Amino acid sequence: MGLLTFSLNITLDGCVDHREGTVDDDTHAFFTRLMDESGAMLWGRVTYEMMESAWPAVARGDHEASPAMQKWAATLETKPKYVVSTTRTDFPWSNSHHIAGDLREGVQKLKDATPAGVLLGSGNLATELDRLDLIDEYRMVVHPRIAGHGPTLYQGGLPSTRRLELVSAKPFRNGALALHYRRAD
């Protein structure tokens, strides 16, 4: 069984608005390595639609992008993408699959079928999966910004505190810090 790793960009005050990060080539290279190490991506519908609206065009070369962004887009294009949604069933982007029905069962089946692990990149979905005790690791990139607004991580709350142990911490040239934690409990 593969691990479910929650990974996201976040500001110092917990904002997960994708426009608030200091995303650059180092950040794209970091997330490309995470994707290379993982067997699949897992998103909620909103994240899927945001990604689908931008990255296939970059992968096709329709938009000018740095080599690191192009590599990120090309890797994402080929990676299996699983989407949890109760409102949409058609996911035409390459290698996209719908997870319907019981959330715990669907995500557990995905973990069981993906020995290289699953990379989760949706904040709201992460809250639901954490409530179900399905997340094994956390790989956050903390950006040196205070956004002063939301959405914030775990806005909906959790039933109990999660104890984590630090696996690694890596600073980026832009001042961001990549933190890798695994569950300690």
Q: Is the peptide bond before 171 cis (omega within 30 degrees of 0)?
A: no
Q: Residue 39: helix, strand or coil by DSSP?
A: coil
pLDDT average, residue stretch 157-176: 94
The CA-based angle 159-165-169, given to 5 degrees, is: 120
4-62: per-residue pLDDT in tens?
Answer: 999 999 999 999 988 888 788 899 999 999 999 999 999 999 999 999 999 999 999 99
Token pair belonging to 149: 């607004």
Cα 181 from Cα 142, distance rounded (Å)? 13
Above pLDDT 90, what percent of the chain? Answer: 87
Tell me the angle at which helices 25-37 and 67-78 cross, rounded to the nearest 10 degrees: 20
Token pair belonging to 181: 């934690």
Cα 106 from Cα 143, distance rounded (Å)? 32
- What pLDDT was estimated at residue 19? 84
DSSP string, 70-97: HHHHHHHHHS-EEEE-SS-----STTEE
Above pLDDT 70, what percent of the chain? Answer: 100
Q: What is the mean pLDDT of the chain?
A: 94
33, β-bridge pairs? none
Question: Could you tell me whether strands 137-143 and 4-11 are parallel, antiparallel, or unpaired per DSSP bridges?
Answer: parallel
Cα 24 from Cα 153, distance rounded (Å)? 22
CA dihedral 92, 137, 150, 29 (to 10 degrees): -60
